[in-house]
Chain A
Amino acid sequence: MTTIPPKTPPQTSPQAPVEAPAGMATAPVAASRRWTRETLIALTAFALFALLPVLAAGLEDTFMVFFAIRVMVFAIAAVSLSLILGFGALVSFGHAAYLGLGAYSVAILAEHGYWDVTISLPVTLLVCGLFAAVTGAICLKTRGVYFIMITLAFGQMAYYTATSLSAYGGDDGLTMWGRTEILGSGMLSDRTTFYYVVLGVLIFCYVLARMIVASRFGRVLQGAKQSEMRLRAIGIDPYWYRLVAYVIAGMMAGLAGALLANAAEFVSPAYMTWHRSGELIVMVVLGGLGSLAGSIIGAASFLVLEELLSHVTEHWRLIFGPFLVLVVLFGKGGLMALIPGGRKND
C-alpha cells in the first residue's frame, strides 16, 4: 500500500504514464485489487454493525448497543480525518474541535427550542464548514510542524471558547433534554432507530469519502501529498484542493459531533480537548493510513481496547501509552496490514 509518504523523493518509473498520479501509475491492477479488498472489509464491518443490535437483544446486553453507537460515531470522525490525513498528508491536530462544534451547534439550538433536523443539520454543517474554511485558510498556508501546531492551537481556541460559554454551561457542559426531531417526530428517541440512523450516516460518509478519493479532486489531493512541485508544474495549485478537503472533513466530523450530542444527550468542552484530537489521529493510524475502512476498524479497535484495558486497571493509559509508542516504532501499515489479502511490500 502506498500509504506512508516516502522519505526519499519518489522515483518516476520510466514506463509510467506522465499524467497519472504517481501512486496509481505504476500498478493500476494492484490499486484496483486494493480497493476490492477495502470494499470487502468495509462491507464486513457494516454487516457486523447491522447485525449487532439483534445479537445484543439476544444477549439482553443494552450496553453493547450504546457502545456500538459510540464506536460508529467515532468511526465517522476517523473517516473524516482519514480523508485529509491519509490522503492529503495533512496532520490536523485539532480535529476534535469539529466534534465539539457539531455537538454544541445541536445542543445550543435545542436549548433555544430548535429541535428539528431541518434546522440543526444545516446549522451544524454551516458552523463547522465556516470554522474549517477560516482556520483552514490560515493553517494551509503553512507546512509540516507549523501545520500541526497551528491546527492544535485553533483546536484549543475552540475548546477554551466552549469552556467560557457560561450561558451554556461553561466547563460543566450542557444537557440536552431529548434528541433531535425529524420533521417533528421523535423517532430518534428509540434506541434501535437511532442506532440504524447512525449506521446510515456512517455508511453515507464512508461512501462519500470513497467517491471523493476516487475522483479527480481526490487524485489531486493525493498527488499534492507526493509532490507539490510536480502538481504546480502542470498548473494545479493544491492550496484550494486542500482547503476544500479540509472543509469537507470538518463538516463530516461536525456531523459525528451532532450524533455524539444526540447519543449522550449531553455536550461538554471535554469533547474537544486536544487529547481527543490525538486519539482521532491514533484511530486513523492504528487502522492503517490511506485506508478509509481501516479508519473504521481503527476507531473500533481503539475504543474496544480502551474499554477492555480500563476494566483491567484504572490506570489503563500506563499500558496504552507504551503500546502506542511500540505501534509507531514497529507497526507499519496499521491493522489493515494484518488482515490477509494485502500486499506485503508496496
Chain B
Amino acid sequence: MSATLFAVQTLNGLQLGILLFLIAAGLTLVFGVMDFINLAHGVQYMLGAYLAVAAYAVTGTFWGALVLGLAGALVIGLLLEVLVFRHLYDRDHLDQVLATFGIILFLNEAVKAIWGSTPLTLPMPEVLDGSFELMDGLLYPVYRIALIVAGLAVAVLLYVLVSKTRVGMLVRAGATNAPMVAALGVDIRRLFMLVFGFGAMLAGFAGILAAPILVVEPGMGDNLLILAFVVIVIGGIGSIRGAFLAALIVGLVDTLGRGFATDIAKLALSPSAANDVGPAIASMLIYVLMAAVLFFRPSGLFPARGG
C-alpha cells in the first residue's frame, strides 16, 4: 500500500466521484423539484457516450463528438420529457418506476440493435493524449486530470447557476415547496422541462467524458445509475451541494475500498481467505455507508426539503 498507489487510487476515486456528480446532479434536481423518480437517467449517460461515438465517426474530432453528443443528449432528454415523463408527474412513484423501467428496457435494447453489443471506444482528443509526472515515478494520464478539472468546473458553474441566478432561485424554491412556487405564478412545468433537459445533458456529458477511458456498451449506465441513487440518498434529495459531497465520498470510498480491502483483510485473515472476503467487502462498502448515513440522518446529509 505505497503512497504512489494511494495517490493514484485517490485520483481514480475523484474521477468516479466527478462522473457520479454529473449524473446525480440532474437526478437530484428532478427528484427535488417534481418528486419524480427517473430510472431512465442512467440511459441518458449511455446515450451521451453512444451519440459521441456516432458523431466522432462523422466529424472525426473529439470536440465535434462532444458538441454533437451534448446536443443529441439534450434533444433526446426533452423528447422523452414531452412524450412520456410529463404524463407521469401526477402519478405515484410506482407508476413512475414502471414507466421509466420500460424506457430503460427500450433504450438499452435500441442501442444494442443499432450499434450491436460489442463494446465501442471513443478516441481521446490528441491534446490531452499523454501523461505527466505527478510525483516521483508516478505518471498519470492528462485526460483523466482534464476530466476531473472539467467536472469541477461544471460543479462550480452549477453552484453559481443554482445559488446566484433567478432560474436557480426558482429551482431551489421548487425543491423546497413546488406547489407554493406554482401558486406564485411560475410556470413550474416549463421550469421542470428546463431542469430535466439540463439534467439529461449533464448525464450525457458524463457519458461522453467517460467514453474514452471506459468501454461504451449497452447497459453501461445501469450501474452508475444505482451509484447515483446512493449518492442522492446520502447527499439528501434535491441538494446540489449534498450531491457533490456525497459523489466525491462515494467515488473515493468505492475506489479506495476496491483497491485496499484485500490488503486490509489480510491483516486479520489468511491470504486466501482475504482474497475471497476482500472484494466482497469492497463491493458492500458504499451500501454500508449509505445505511449508516440513513440511520443517523434519514433525509441525507443536506436535505433540501424542510421537514
A315-330 residues at the B interface, CB under 8 angstroms: 315-318, 320-325, 327-329
A324 & B113 in contact (Cβ 8 Å cutoff): no
Which of the 9-residue segments B65-73, B128-136, B166-174, B225-233 touches chain A?
B225-233
Residue of B nearest to A157 (CB): B287
For residue B115, which residues in chain A have a CB less than 8 angstroms away from its CB?
none
Bound complex: CA A165 to CA B94 (Å): 33
Bound complex: CA A149 to CA B231 (Å): 10
Q: Mark A262-274, 1 if CB is under 8 A from B, else 0.
A: 0000000000001
Given A148-B97, A149-B229, A166-B275, A325-B92 contact (CB < 8 Å): no
For residue B99, which residues in chain A have a CB less than 8 angstroms away from its CB?
324-325, 328-329
B295 to chain A, nearest CB (A): 6
B3 to chain A, nearest CB (A): 27
A150 & B92 in contact (Cβ 8 Å cutoff): no
For residue B290, which residues in chain A have a CB less than 8 angstroms away from its CB?
150, 153
Interface size on B, residues (CB 8 A): 49
From B87, B106, B226, give the contact of A317 (CB < 8 A): B106
B89-122 residues at the A interface, CB under 8 angstroms: 90-95, 97-99, 101-110, 112-113
Bound complex: CA A226 to CA B161 (Å): 40
Given A145-B31, A145-B237, A166-B275, A320-B105 contact (CB < 8 Å): yes
Given A91-B97, A325-B84, A325-B103, A317-B108 contact (CB < 8 Å): yes
For residue A325, which residues in chain B have a CB less than 8 angstroms away from its CB?
84, 99, 102-103, 106
Q: Mark B203-245, 1 if CB is under 8 A from A, else 0.
A: 0000000000000000000100010011011000100000000
A108 to chain B, nearest CB (A): 13
Check if B178 is an interface residue, CB within 8 A of chain A: no
Bound complex: CA A7 to CA B94 (Å): 13
For residue A278, which residues in chain B have a CB less than 8 angstroms away from its CB?
39, 97-98, 101
From A5, A135, A141, give the contact of B92 (CB < 8 A): A5
Interface size on A, residues (CB 8 A): 48
For residue A145, which residues in chain B have a CB less than 8 angstroms away from its CB?
31, 35, 37, 93, 237
A164 & B295 in contact (Cβ 8 Å cutoff): no
From B102, B233, B291, B299, give the contact of A323 (CB < 8 A): B102
Residue of A nearest to B219 (CB): A275
